[in-house]
């Protein structure tokens, strides 16, 4: 698994395929549990409709991603222009077809059970597909937003186990009897230190910090840019108390290292509750693991129960505290407008720049 993780880093943006594979496998494991519990009732179309809804939701999310990040490719291909323009209507129509098929499949005396399974499918889609889409959104912000969250969750899992194994005495939660407060606290401090060091190492490389973009000329993903301020070394003045203790007045840090402290804190304090949730789910159905895909480790979902929660937090954190206006996305949307709309926006923008004195004098004379 460690070798596979480093292979993903080497492959770069192609790991989108890996995210899709993990998503499908996790969905299959959860849906299979429901099928095993209720298969004796011979409910019609349960698995067929579950997979159909998975295809519909993926079509919607990946279509949104295509329109956001591959605008140049969409403009170049006529069929894609049609699909992009009516994407949400097509997505809704596909879902509506599945909804109607579910209603037609209702069987007398099993209505309640069938609605249970309908809800089961939709909750699974919410947990697995929606959050895997957020993983992809994080990846497009820069590989560092994908690698660091995954790594700190893995670190927390390992260090909590080691501290619990050697020093654990006090039980943490009944859902997981082997979890201890000592492991929980030791994992927290270890993860914060690990995340801080990893953030420092990765912030030095353009390959990890640049947003992933699609180059329409080469038809390839690119990760080349001028590193954002978030990944440029800056000098910070220490609080007076720390200056007296450490005998330092300033320190040089990447701003991302400060963000890594918050990411690591979430991974250590809240992330484990994703695992507790999964433990409660398995206890409810009296199973040890979601599947036996990985010998000795259970299913794929057993390994990713905390990762999905972490991915959602990372996405919300980026949107709330990091991401600013994205010029490339704005430009892509402008290029998809009609020529007269583009000219109207151009004139408005030019007049605004003139009023603010930002338009070069030569550009004014050329008018």
- pLDDT for 88-140, tens place per residue? 999 999 999 999 999 999 988 888 888 988 999 999 999 899 888 898 888 88
pLDDT of 71: 67
Q: How far is CA 119 from CA 11, 50, 52, 58, 360, in A?
A: 37, 10, 15, 18, 59
Residue 22 has pLDDT above 60, yes or no: yes
Residue 367 has pLDDT above 60, yes or no: no
Assigned token pair, 333: 């949307």
> Looking at residue 271, what DSSP letter applies?
T
Residue 21 has pLDDT above 60, yes or no: yes
pLDDT of 156: 95
Residue 329 has pLDDT above 80, yes or no: no
Assigned token pair, 137: 């959104």
Give CA–CA dist 90/84, Å, rounded: 10
pLDDT of 96: 97
Helices (H), 291-335: 300-317, 327-335
This prediction has a pTM of 0.84
Higher pLDDT pick, 177 / 270: 270
Interval 24-33 mean pLDDT: 89
Q: Are 301 and 140 in contact (CB under 8 A)?
A: no
Residue 363 has pLDDT above 70, yes or no: no
Q: What is the largest CA-CA distance in the chain?
A: 81
Q: Are 202 and 147 in contact (CB under 8 A)?
A: yes
In DSSP terms, 215 is beta-bridged to 220
Interval 195-206 mean pLDDT: 95
Ranking 69-73, 271-275, 291-295 by mean pLDDT, the lowest is 69-73
């Amino acid at each position: 698994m460690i070798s596979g993780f480093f292979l993903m880093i080497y492959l770069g943006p192609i790991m989108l395929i890996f995210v899709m594979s993990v998503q499908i496998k996790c969905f299959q494991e959860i849906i299979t549990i429901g099928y095993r519990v209720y298969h004796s009732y011979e409910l019609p179309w349960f698995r067929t409709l579950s997979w159909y809804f998975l295809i519909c939701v993926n079509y919607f999310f990946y279509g949104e991603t295509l329109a956001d990040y591959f605008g140049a490719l969409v403009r170049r291909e006529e069929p894609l222009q049609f699909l992009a323009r009516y994407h949400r209507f097509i997505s809704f129509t596909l879902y509506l077809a599945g909804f109607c098929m579910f209603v037609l499949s209702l069987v007398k005396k099993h209505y309640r059970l069938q609605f249970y399974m309908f809800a089961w499918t939709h909750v699974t889609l919410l947990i697995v597909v929606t959050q895997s889409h957020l993983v992809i959104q994080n990846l497009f912000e820069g590989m560092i937003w994908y690698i660091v969250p995954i790594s700190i969750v893995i670190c927390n899992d390992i260090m909590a186990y080691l501290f619990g194994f050697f020093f654990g005495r006090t039980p943490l939660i009944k859902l997981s009897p082997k979890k201890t407060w000592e492991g929980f606290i030791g994992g927290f401090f270890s993860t914060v230190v690990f995340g801080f060091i990893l953030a420092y190492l990765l912030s030095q490389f353009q390959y990890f910090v640049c947003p992933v973009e699609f180059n329409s000329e080469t038809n390839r993903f690119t990760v080349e840019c001028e590193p954002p301020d978030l990944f440029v070394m800056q000098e910070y003045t220490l609080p007076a108390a720390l200056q007296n203790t450490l005998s330092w007045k300033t320190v040089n840090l990447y701003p991302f290292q400060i963000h890594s402290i918050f990411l690591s804190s979430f991974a250590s304090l809240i992330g484990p509750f994703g695992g507790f949730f999964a433990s409660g789910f398995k206890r409810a159905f009296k199973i040890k693991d979601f599947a036996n895909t990985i010998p000795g480790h259970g299913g794929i979902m057993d390994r990713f129960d905390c990762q999905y929660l972490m991915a959602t937090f990372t996405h919300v954190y980026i949107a709330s505290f990091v991401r600013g206006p994205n010029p490339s996305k704005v430009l892509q949307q402008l290029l998809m407008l009609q020529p007269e709309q583009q000219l109207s926006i151009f004139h408005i923008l030019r007049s605004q720049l003139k009023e603010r004195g930002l338009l070069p004098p030569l550009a004014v004379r050329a008018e």
